[in-house]
Amino acid sequence: MRRAWNLSEEFIAGLNARRVGPATGFADVRSRLAKPLNDEGEDPTRVVEELASAVEPGLVATAGPRYFGFVIGGSVPAAVAADQLASVWDQNAALARSSPAAAAVESVASEWLLDLLRLPKTASVGFVTGCQMANFTCLAAARHAVLARAGWDVEKDGLQGGPRVNVVVGEEAHATIHSALRYAGFGSGRSIVVPADAQGRMKADELRKALASVVGPTIVCAQAGNVNSGAFDPLDDIASATSARGAWLHVDGAFGLWAAASENPERRALMRGAERAQSWATDAHKWLNAPYDSGLAIVATPEDHRAAMITAASYLIRAEGAERDPHDYTPESSRRARGFAVYAALRNLGRRGVSDLVERCCALAVRAADSLRLADGVAVLNDVVLNQVLVRVAPSRGEHASGSSDAVDAHTRAVIERVQREGVAWLGGTRWHDREAMRISVSNWTTTDADIDALVASILRAHRPNA
Ligand SMILES: *Cc1c(COP(=O)(O)O)cnc(C)c1O
């Protein structure tokens, strides 16, 4: 363990200077590791040392300040340390009786989270692996509630033969909403899809029309923070439309939900109306900068949350009185005590620290957009309302067919690849309005102005190598 801690210190100390993307790929790392499993076991120090040195070139500096791919936070120090203790303590966070410590820390962290995210104090929180599972957990609670109201016991009788449930999603719903719908038995292809505007926001008037055309149990999935543009669905309008119809409103806010923790009223306004929903899914491993894995499934009505998740067996000693059994709120039974890291991240940052983290990342996204916009042939595609920037780059005028959309697509792809290869920063690509774009996501607590300037310089070198 001492050796592992030394390696951890070395890694953290070198994070800012190391190549951001991996130095090698899957096949190479595999070949370094792949030998027949030994018969007798090996010395733990040797196992750890050889593992660390074999995987080293395959590591990605996702925890560092210049990783702008996907939406990936780093880890604040207290959270990394608490998470290490969670491994050492090896608590089973299923029951209050399997670990009063794990259950109690989740209970406190839940209260802090609801307060910080300005959600109803009476809501329940499940500590799941990520927003994918949070979306699933919330939709399972929704499924329970809308069908119970229709007189159907979905936990006992399943979906087959029951009343049809209308599921309404935005055109720009995250891919994990569709997988969550699949896991929940609704299928991913039967949803009513509401069109989105140019920023990727669900159109509330179209939602109203869609809701007017359906009868019976209905679930609406809205989004706070589009994974590409950062845009928010008009949540207040959507909440009015869904409550008028008696539908369940779920909000996927993997990172966007954290806008509510900002002290900047403009940022908070993006979340206006979110508190009127019935469930919310978010991540702690993205913007809170807790280590992987850490997602949060939040349900306004704890009884629906529990009804969908509860596992009963005679040997499982139930919580009593004010105690809380964590597994009543998650699909998992036995699991990691990930509440320790969430608690530590929240306390390490404090209310002001979380707000500053959100605001800093948003300001850095604006800085990136503003610098890039000045360069010849660069277009910023989205309104930068949060931490996400979408960029397209056009080849020089002299180049063959430089003006065509296909040429811009090809050049944008090439620039992404060159930036990744150079290693100063890392960003990925996406399709936006059916065209190629590069995505810049600023979600790390250590990112500074200088890191943004280094990213911009890397993009511009890749864009105009001879300039
Ligand atoms: C990242 C993301 C998810 C999925 O979260 P995981 O933590 O990868 O499970 C869901 N919705 C949105 C909007 C996201 O950005």
Percent with pLDDT over 90 in the chain: 95
Give the C-alpha separation, 305 to 309, whole Å. 6
How large is the average pLDDT for residues 11-40? 96
Q: What does the pLDDT look like over 80-128, one tens digit per residue? A: 999 999 999 999 999 999 999 999 999 999 999 999 999 999 999 999 9
Overall average pLDDT of the 440-448 stretch: 98
Q: Is the CB of 255 under 6 A from ligand 1?
A: yes
130 ligand 1 Cβ < 6 A: yes
- Ligand 1 midpoint to CA 283 (Å): 7
Full-model pTM? 0.97
Ligand 1 within 6 A of CB of 283: yes
Q: Whose CA is nearest to atom 2 of ligand 1?
A: 254
pLDDT at 402: 65
Angstrom CA distances, 459 to 297, 334, 393, stand at: 37, 45, 9
The backbone torsions φ and ψ at residue 322, rounded to the nearest 5 degrees and listed phi first, read: -80, -5
SS (H, E, C) 133-157: HHHHHHHHHHHHHHHHHCCCCHHHH
Listed range (94-98, 163-167, 169-173, 403-407) with the worst mean pLDDT: 403-407
Distance 49 CA to ligand 1 centre (A): 33
pLDDT tops 80 at residue 227? yes
**Rounded distance between C-alpha atoms, residue 421 and residue 20, angstroms:** 9
Residue 400 clears pLDDT 70, i.e. is over it? no
Closest ligand 1 atom, residue 285 Cα: 7
Closest CA to 289 of 255, 256, 259: 255
Question: What's the mean pLDDT in 270-276?
Answer: 98
Q: Distance from the CA of 288 to the center of ligand 1, in angstroms?
A: 13
C-alpha 42/C-alpha 51 separation (Å) is 12
Residue with tokens 């989740």: 106
